[in-house]
Amino acid sequence: MSDDRWRRGVQLKALVIGGSMAGLFAALLLRREGWKVDVYERVGAELAGRGAGIVTHTELFEVLGRAGIDTAAAAVGVAVPGRRVLDQSGRIAGELGLRQVLTSWGHLYGLLKAALPAERYHHGKNLEQVTEFGDRVVARFSDGSEASGDLLIGADGIFSGVRARLAADVRPKYAGYVAWRGLVNERDLSPRTRAELCDWFAFSLPPGEQMLGYPVAGANEEMDVGERRFNFVWYRPADADHGLADLLTDIDGIRHELSIPPTRIRSDVIASMRRDADRLLAPQFAEVVRLTRLPFIQAILDLETPRMALGSRTVILGDAAFVARPHVGMGVTKAAADAGALVDALRAHPADLPAALAKFESIRLPFGAAVVRRARHLGAYMQAQIATAEERAMAERHRSPEAVMAETAVATGIAA
């Protein structure tokens, strides 16, 4: 950004690569600062239903407010009064008061997407090249089109095309375990399970594993009791060479690397998972798993980048830069805060884009690394490959019911 362009009051333009949460937060905040913003999403159809449940934090509500989104709890998600752990027999083994608002990916995405003018969101734009030319940055797409602007923001997730082209050595690493995830309609559950699970952030803790769940909005974003859904996440060890390979080999025998479409999961894999649920989990959670129509698998990955500013006019944020294991429940909040910090840095250095990006990076780089580090500690006891005495001791610190309730998906314990 040249001094001359800023002083002449020329409207600056940002290209946002990636149309999910991080991209929408960046676009909405920049628009409120007077920027012209276009969002380019690789997927050709409307995004929907990804990621199932989301835990909210105070910082997320702050950035939502800055983006012009209604932050009333009822508008964002379902509030729960606290947490509880169920033992294998289904009895309540522990309880902790901790109010939180829980939402679904689809609901939050819908709120953000509705706030962005439709003409500024472009589907089917698969990035092929990023090039900086003096005071411009140009994105070229596989359909032959291109776009240019003053700033390019890579908000395109863990397999970021922006990062792949400008920092190809930074890749996600498998953590040694997976998460089975799914949603079930609250009304389909038995009265006992509804009463003991559906108003709580709840846990079941088989040896070396962790199941958790909480209520989120219904299929049509209903928030009323009985119309909601229950979201679950079940962490299970799976070694990379055998367990993961089997889980990610699809119905046609094709081996997927790190993810698999839910409709391609083999029926024998799902049947085995359901049998394990009956054997290992509290009966209430086993019922949730049994009644979930389309469970899906998420390989748990770590991603850390040494740089977020990848040029004088190019930056990455959200999951394109750091991916922490879901135990911290910070993915969407981190993406929102990244977008907020970027806008703050641009405001502080309106005539010097490289200085703004350097300022942004100096603030968010250590925070992203701290979130990843904290998530590794919380998830350590589900890694069968833990070798050192220090790693085993750290794992033991975080595996008791009391520790799990107090530490999972809370902002405390994260320090840059």
Residues 113, 195, single domain; the answer is: no
- pLDDT for the residue numbered 3: 46
Please, where are the H alpha helices in 83-216?
105-114, 161-166, 191-197
Do the domain assignments include residue 415?
A: no
- pLDDT for the residue numbered 1: 41
Do the domain assignments include residue 409?
A: no
Q: Among residues 284, 300, 316, which one ends one of the domains?
A: 300
Measured distance CA(152)–CA(155) in Å, rounded: 9
Residues 187, 98, single domain; the answer is: yes
What's 63's domain CATH number? Answer: 3.50.50.60
What's 237's domain CATH number? Answer: 3.30.9.60
Measured distance CA(84)–CA(94) in Å, rounded: 5
- Residue 241: phi and psi, rounded to 5, are -80, -30
- pLDDT for the residue numbered 196: 95
Residues 155, 249, single domain; the answer is: no
pLDDT less than 70: residues of the chain: 1-9, 47-51, 73-74, 384-387, 412-416
Measured distance CA(212)–CA(201) in Å, rounded: 7
Do the domain assignments include residue 405?
A: no
- pLDDT for the residue numbered 394: 73
Measured distance CA(64)–CA(1) in Å, rounded: 27
- Residue 406: phi and psi, rounded to 5, are -80, -25
- pLDDT for the residue numbered 397: 74
Do the domain assignments include residue 388?
A: no
- pLDDT for the residue numbered 230: 95
Q: Among residues 259, 274, 300, which one ends one of the domains?
A: 300
Residues 156, 53, single domain; the answer is: yes
- Give the number of other CB atoms < 10 A from CB of residue 416: 12
Element (H, E) at 316: strand 314-316
- pLDDT for the residue numbered 240: 82
- Give the number of other CB atoms < 10 A from CB of residue 161: 21
Nearest to 130 by CA among 300, 312, 307, 260: 312
Helix, strand or coil, per DSSP, at residue 248: coil
Please, where are the H alpha helices in 169-260?
191-197, 243-247
Token representation of residue 231: 């979201």
Residues 233, 350, single domain; the answer is: no
CA angle 21, 261, 43 (to 5 degrees): 45
pTM for the whole thing? 0.91
Measured distance CA(391)–CA(383) in Å, rounded: 10
Measured distance CA(115)–CA(23) in Å, rounded: 13
Residues 220, 91, single domain; the answer is: yes
Contact 172, 258 (CB under 8 A): yes
Do the domain assignments include residue 403?
A: no
Residues 140, 212, single domain; the answer is: no
Residues 143, 20, single domain; the answer is: yes
- pLDDT for the residue numbered 335: 96
- pLDDT for the residue numbered 2: 44
Residues 321, 369, single domain; the answer is: yes
- pLDDT for the residue numbered 24: 97
Do the domain assignments include residue 362?
A: yes
Residues 123, 215, single domain; the answer is: no
Do the domain assignments include residue 270?
A: yes
Q: Among residues 274, 300, 326, which one ends one of the domains?
A: 300
Nearest to 254 by CA among 263, 245, 262: 245
Measured distance CA(168)–CA(234) in Å, rounded: 31
Do the domain assignments include residue 319?
A: yes
Please, where are the H alpha helices in 68-135?
73-76, 105-114
- pLDDT for the residue numbered 396: 74
Provide the domain limits for residue 358: 3-68+108-172+302-380
| Number of domains the chain is built from | 2
Residues 194, 250, single domain; the answer is: yes
According to DSSP, residue 412 is labeled T
Residues 219, 276, single domain; the answer is: yes
Nearest to 300 by CA among 359, 262, 259: 259
Measured distance CA(332)–CA(336) in Å, rounded: 6
